[in-house]
Amino acid sequence: MQEIKWGIIGCGDVTEIKSGPAFNKVPNSSLVAVMRRDAAKAADYAARHQVPKWYSDASDLINDPEVNAIYIATPPLQHEVYTLEALAAGKPVYVEKPMAINAASALRMKEATVKYGVKLVVAHYRRAQPFFLKIKKMLAENVIGDVRFVQLQMLQPKQTNIIANSETNWRMDPALSGGGLFHDLAPHQLDLMLYYFGPVSRSSGIAVQQDNPFGVDDLITGQMLFDNGIVFTGTWCFSVSPAEQQDVCEIYGSKGKISFPIFGNKITLSLDGTDEEFIFEPLQHVEQPMIKQTVEYFLGQADNPCSAGEALASMELLDSFTGKDIKA
């Protein structure tokens, strides 16, 4: 391939700004087709974004001979079926996070990349953003000394504004999402921990439903011991008072601490009682750096920015923290 010609399956709200426009802004990349089951909405999206083709059937898009790569941006339940169909058709796939509805589904997707010999990237796009790359660089340079432990708190009120808008509340339907806001937000955080600190030797958690009418867990705690001895503890609660809203990850080392939000733009480095702040400008299209790396990988110019195996590890942590049967 000389150019990646994308087809999007599921052109909903998440693709309006976060990802969709970036496919035409990255070198050697263009968006040529979109699909949505509602034909009128698919046609509307194509008209507004100047996309040449639209479909209301995913198979029609996958089998369009002009489309040579697929971006899957549906709710997680459909990730596996569309990924398997695209890979079987020889089309490389860029699939949204979470990779699938559970680890068992993600494993089948990973196995399919081997079976068909077709490339798959999972959209853990924070890996490619300058903000999080700065943290990785600080850790690599041993700025805070040897890392001892990590504490993360994601505390949100029931009516949080931290998630992207959607026409339906699919995130609260465990059959579609896998398990509420935890399954929507925690993959970002857990993937970053794996990206920064490597493999996990053991993990466990507690998940309960305290104040949620949708039948999904809204309080989750998790612990991880990394192979290198670093310990992680995290708390996710989606029913706190608005005044107690919190989004902070703190990495403690032998010389200091790095503090940052997952959904923010300020890094604080604390050394010897002194704080230094690093402020980053928000990205117009948050997935553009990751899409650029994915295009380069599909063209054989770079390594996989987030492989199926790497994303499967974060899915296994989700299941571990919530006590789900990964064989489901």
What is the fold of 4-125+286-306? Rossmann fold (3.40.50)
pLDDT of 15 over the 60 cut: yes
Q: What pLDDT, on a 0 to 100 scale, did the predictor assign at position 324?
A: 77
**Token pair belonging to 221:** 């705690």
Split at pLDDT 50, 70, 90, the class of 213 is confident
Amino acid at 179: G
Split at pLDDT 50, 70, 90, the class of 326 is very low
- Whether the CB-CB separation of 92 and 298 falls below 8 Å is answered with yes
* Residue that the structure tokens 């001979």 belong to: 65
Strand 231-237: give its sheet, edge to edge: 200-208, 219-226, 231-237, 147-155, 246-253, 256-260, 266-271, 274-279
Q: What pLDDT, on a 0 to 100 scale, did the predictor assign at position 167?
A: 55
CATH superfamily of 130-281: Dihydrodipicolinate Reductase; domain 2 (3.30.360.10)
CA-CA distance, 173 to 149, in Å (whole number)? Answer: 34
Amino acid at 320: S
**Token pair belonging to 271:** 């050394």
| Domain extents in the chain | 4-125+286-306, 130-281
**Dihedral sign computed on CA atoms, order 126, 128, 134, 135:** positive
Chain center to CA of 298 = 19
**Token pair belonging to 17:** 């700004």
